[in-house]
Each structure stands twice: as structure tokens, then as C-alpha cells.
Amino acid sequence: MTESSISRRSLFKMGGLAAAGIAAGATLGACSPAGGSDDKGAATDATTAQAATGTPAGGSTAASSWRTPPAEVTDFVNEYDYEVVCVGHGYAGMCACRELAESGKKVALIEVQAEDTYTATGNESAALNSKLLDRFDIPHVDPVEYYQNWMAMTQNYPNGELVMKFCQNMGEANDWYYSVLSEDELATMTSHGWPSTEHRLTAVGPFKFYPGTATFEAEGVKQTQILTHNREAAKALGADFYFETEAQYLVMDNGAVAGLVASTPEGNVKFNCKAVVVATGGFCNNNEMLADLIPDMIGNFVEGEEVAPEGGNGISFGRGIQMAYWAGARLEQISIPTMNGKHLDPPTNRTNVPQAVWLDSNGKRFCNEFFPAVEHRGVPTIYRERQDIHCVFDSDILTYLEYCVPQHGTFNPTESALEGVAKSMEVARAKFEGTYDESKAEEFRAQVNVTACADTLEGLAEQIGLTGEAAKNFVASVERYNEFCKTGVDTEFGRYKETLFPVVNPPFYAATGTSNMGKIMCTVGGIITDGEQNALDANFRPIPGLYVSGNDCGRRFGNEYFTPTPGVSLGMAITLGRECGRSVKAFLEA
């Protein structure tokens, strides 16, 4: 399915662009003029610009019509003049807009959603070293240590200037972002993974993890309301907001930003400005761009697997990255990282039980189950036949589950979460003993869904359907793993000593399921920028007036998203969005 068909269908569903607006901008559907155009936006050498700014990542041969600039639009129902326009009402775009408004700049923000149905994505932000989290007595962290750990976990790929800005400024930025909340609203905040438990791990091998998250996900205020409060704060300072307004392409004048063209239900509009902040949230809803720019996800699908965006609000079609690319900006040349896209969807919350030993349908262990980051833990499974995976553990699992790191996507050993697992174990035991009464079953939420129980490993193998050689392998694999637990050295897959939990005390349990690939929360990269988030051209030179932030900005993660603290995606968008506003201010005043 093309980007145009996906985006238009979704926009009609959400009450976005009306048919009149679509018709007015029909020639704009999936492309726009490249850099080096005149002040009307007409492309002068689109082919050269495309060749210079990147071929499909990883040598993809997928269709990439999105790379082709469209025809110029000259008929506008309205024309506006601003110093800067921010594209996207997410965290980065909103924070850039508010910062610019506080600096006295004439700024507008455009957003494709309708104002009365506007919704945000996400619920928590990494906010280490903030006064906000001092109320929880969460320890402060050395920003340089945090930076060093980040760069080690990402093989030094990210832009060090951007990462250091995040590390040094996230506390102050979060205090600023959440300053719009009342005390009653702040009272609904919690912090993922805090308070700590007795057995909480702060590191796995050389990799460190840190608590420090502002979480708004249970009762009380949500991020949609928080962003709305920030919008009202920016409005009070003179910022203008245009909803149901879809950016189409940038207007360039001699290689510099001169404005942008957008479409609305009434027709096409033009914004004249000296700078544009692109922050439209990536392209997880654009199948064509996914195939082109993330070949190591799409290319590893097996029959029956397909892209299944989850979370978000269904409008991340990549327009920001498209616009910047058409204007001559460079694309990342690695396969662009995603959130959850490059590791298999865990069966029965498999990634929540790294404390277990994982065995395949042949009864054999196949990976380091407790590799540090959740996002990296499931990578080996991509390159295997899609078959049942059995997470095997013993009756001490409730204690072992407390040995975890504060990280997004991993088991959080709260009292209620542990009770859910205990109940799931009780049900599995009752079924094994033949005493389970379906009519008296109680509803419970288990983050780990236990599917089998037995008094011996041989019996457990039988319970999960293994026979013959596979059953023998199953027992031998667990026994060999237990020897590693005794010695503290895993000579099979190098699991770190502090994460070796034996499977020796009956009864024994298994959580079984089949992995499948394709679920993706969002993409988290795209356009190459410098440390000011100024987009770079074919020669790695800044394009005057073009800034890219949030999930459109490249070189912030490695091959995949990861979380040394829960909420780094929102935390980075808030922090670098504000920093981007400061960079644009400096550009305008230069």
C-alpha cells in the first residue's frame, strides 16, 4: 500500500483533511520540490539532489517513489508570514515552539490533527537530575557517565553533541516542560521502576541502567493534556497554531529555507519564514518508506508476517523526513532504528522473563536470555525459524523476577505484578494436578503467562509437547545451564554471572509462545543533522533555516532504540526539542 493511500484513509477516519483540501493539493500527495529551487518552490535539479543525499539504505531495491519531488503549487487560499514554523505538535515540535515563543520570536506551529480530537503518544519521559523527581528521592546521575554508557551501548554511532545535550539538560528541560502543571496534576505522577527493590540490578555486565522517569499513565493527567497546557503557554506568548494543516513541502530560495506549503480543508496555504523545525514523528505508518529505509526489518519477514504499527495515533507517514530530503538533506545510511521493529514480538511476554532459560522446539538453548537491553535481547530470534520458544524456570521465579534493571519493556516487580505471576503459576499447577475449576477462575493480569507445570524436567518437557530427541535435549540443556549457574561462567552464550538464575527447585514451569515480527511502535531516525539539529546537505554542510528534531532526527540511537532509563524517547524529544528552539533563535539573531 502506498503512503498516499494509507495517509488519506487515516486522515478521513480521524476527521482531518476534507475532500476539498485533498483536491486542492492533489499533486502534492507524496513528494515536493528539492533544494536549490527558486522562491516559488520549483525544483531545479531534483535528480542531482536525490543522488547526493542518499540511495536506499542497505541497498534496498524496494519501490521508493516517495523520493520524487512533486510539482509546484501556486494557488493558495491564504498566505502567512512568520520568522519560524514548527511542523508537528509532538514533544519536540511543541517544546521548540514554546521555547521560541518565550524568546519573543514570531512562531507558528502546524499540526495535521484536528484540535478537538488531538491526541499525543506516550506516557513517560526520562527526567534524570530534575527537581521534578526529587520528590521521589531518586538519586542524581553524573551526565558524563550517562553519556559514556549511552555511547558504549550504541557503538559510538550517535551524534555525540546531541546525546551530550540530552544528558546535560534533560533535568532542566523536564522541569520546564512540566512546569505548566498544577500541584494536583503533578500529584498523579509516578516513576517507572521506583522505589527500588532489594534485588534491583543497576548494571548487566558493563552496561548501566538508571531509574529516573516522570510517568503519567494511571490516574490523573495524561501527556495529551500536558502538551495542551504547553500549547496554551506558548499561545499566551504570541505563538499561533494551525490544526488540520498538513505540511507538503519546503519552499527554498538559493539553498535556504524561505517557507513551506501546506494543505488544509479549505485549500493550500503558504507560510513565508526564515526557518522551519521539522518534527512530524517518523514514518511507521508508511509501508513504502519502511521497505526502503529499514531493510533489516522488512527483509527478515517470513511468510505471513507484515508491518503492524501499534501505539501512536496512526499519522506518522514520514512527511517531515520527505520534506527535508526533498530540500537536499542527507538521510541516515544505516537501516533506520525503530521502537520494537527489529526484535521479535515476545510470546507470553517472553522478554519479561530473561531470568528464565529459553529453549526452542528442539529443546535447545539458543541465546543469552538476559542480554542487557530489551530491544537487543530478542534479536537472535529474528534469524531463526518461527517456532515455539519455551521460557523455563523453577518455583523461585518470584524472587528472581526482582533481579531486573529499570528499563522500558521489562518486568517491573511491583506487588501487584508479582501477585499476577503467582496466580498464573497457581493456575498452571492446578491444571497439571487436574484440580483446576474453570467455572471458579478469577480474572487476573499476569505480565508473565505461565503455560505449563510439572514436578520434574522430564515431566515439563512432556507437558509442553516435546518428545524423543527434543525431550532429551530439553533436560540436557537445562542441566547444562544449571552447571553454568554453579560456576558463574556461561561458556555457551556468555550470560553475565549476576544474571544466572538456576532452574533446580521443583515444581518447574514454562511460559511458551511463538514469536512473530512486524509490530512497530515508531521509527526513531532519518535526517542527518549537526549538533544544533540543523539538517546537513550532500556535503555535510548545514542547510540554512532547516532544523529537524524528535523522531525525524537521525543519529540519536544505534541500530535500534534502547532504554538505559524508561522514557528516553520522550525525554530526548522534550530536551532536544527545546534545544532546537534555542538553536533556531541563535540562527535568526545571527
Per-residue pLDDT tens over the stretch 299-352: 999 998 888 887 667 889 999 999 999 999 999 998 999 998 888 765 555 567
Q: Are 401 and 284 contained in the same domain?
A: no
Q: Are 294 and 380 contained in the same domain?
A: no
Q: Are 392 and 495 contained in the same domain?
A: yes
Q: Are 324 and 415 contained in the same domain?
A: no
> Is 177 within the bounds of a domain?
no
When pLDDT is averaged across residues 235-259 and rounded to a whole number, the result is 98
pLDDT (0 to 100) of residue 99: 98
Q: Are 391 and 354 contained in the same domain?
A: yes
Q: Are 323 and 370 contained in the same domain?
A: no
Candidate from 206-210, 237-241, 358-362, 380-384 with smallest mean pLDDT: 380-384
**Domain-terminating residue out of 516, 534, 562:** 516
Of the pLDDT bands very low, low, confident and very high (cuts 50, 70, 90), residue 408 is: confident
pLDDT (0 to 100) of residue 200: 92
Of the pLDDT bands very low, low, confident and very high (cuts 50, 70, 90), residue 439 is: confident
When pLDDT is averaged across residues 200-213 and rounded to a whole number, the result is 94
Candidate from 44-58, 200-214, 316-330 with smallest mean pLDDT: 44-58
Residue 88 above 80 pLDDT?
yes
pLDDT tens per residue, range 468-492: 999 999 999 999 999 999 999 999 9
Q: Which among 311, 295, 308 is positioned nearest to 345, based on CA atoms?
A: 308
> Is 585 within the bounds of a domain?
yes
- What amino acid occupies position 283? F
Residue 216 CA to residue 486 CA, distance in Å, equals 42
> Is 114 within the bounds of a domain?
yes
pLDDT (0 to 100) of residue 377: 85
pLDDT (0 to 100) of residue 482: 98
Is the CA virtual torsion 465, 469, 474, 475 positive or negative?
positive
pLDDT (0 to 100) of residue 53: 52
Of the pLDDT bands very low, low, confident and very high (cuts 50, 70, 90), residue 46 is: very low
pLDDT tens per residue, range 122-181: 999 999 999 999 999 999 999 999 999 999 999 999 999 999 999 999 999 999 999 999
> Is 135 within the bounds of a domain?
no
Q: What CATH number did the domain enclosing 471 receive?
A: 3.90.700.10
Q: Are 336 and 362 contained in the same domain?
A: no
| Helix or strand run (H / E) with residue 12 | helix 3-13
C-alpha of 529 from chain center: 19
When pLDDT is averaged across residues 395-415 and rounded to a whole number, the result is 90
Residue 322 CA to residue 77 CA, distance in Å, equals 24
Q: Are 310 and 427 contained in the same domain?
A: no
Q: Are 499 and 546 contained in the same domain?
A: no
> Is 468 within the bounds of a domain?
yes
Query: Which comes out higher in pLDDT, residue 193 or 26?
Result: 193
**% the chain with pLDDT above 70:** 87
> Is 170 within the bounds of a domain?
no
C-alpha of 561 from chain center: 6
Candidate from 1-10, 279-288, 325-334, 379-388 with smallest mean pLDDT: 1-10
Candidate from 72-86, 155-169, 314-328, 444-458 with smallest mean pLDDT: 444-458
Average pLDDT for the chain: 87
pLDDT (0 to 100) of residue 287: 92
Q: Are 279 and 376 contained in the same domain?
A: no
Q: How far is CA 305 from CA 5, 74, 298, 339, 388, in A?
A: 21, 43, 9, 17, 16
Q: What CATH number did the domain enclosing 83 receive?
A: 3.50.50.60
**Domain-terminating residue out of 486, 516, 546:** 516
How many other CB atoms are found less than 10 A from the CB of residue 59?
Answer: 7
**Domain-terminating residue out of 516, 540, 565:** 516
How many other CB atoms are found less than 10 A from the CB of residue 9?
Answer: 12
pLDDT (0 to 100) of residue 255: 97
Residue 307 CA to residue 286 CA, distance in Å, equals 10
Of the CA atoms within 13 Å of residue 224, those in its CB half-sphere come to 12
Q: Are 480 and 555 contained in the same domain?
A: no
Give the domain extent around 449: 347-516
88 in Cβ contact with 278 (< 8 Å): yes
Tally of domains within the chain: 2
> Is 126 within the bounds of a domain?
no
Residue 355 above 90 pLDDT?
yes
Look up residue 398 and give its three cell numbers: 518470584
Q: Are 408 and 325 contained in the same domain?
A: no
Residue 86 above 80 pLDDT?
yes
Q: Tell me which residue has cell 531470568.
A: 355
Q: Look up residue 178 and give its DSSP letter.
A: G
Facing residues of 214 across strands?
125
Q: Which among 154, 501, 560 is positioned nearest to 382, based on CA atoms?
A: 560
> Is 137 within the bounds of a domain?
no
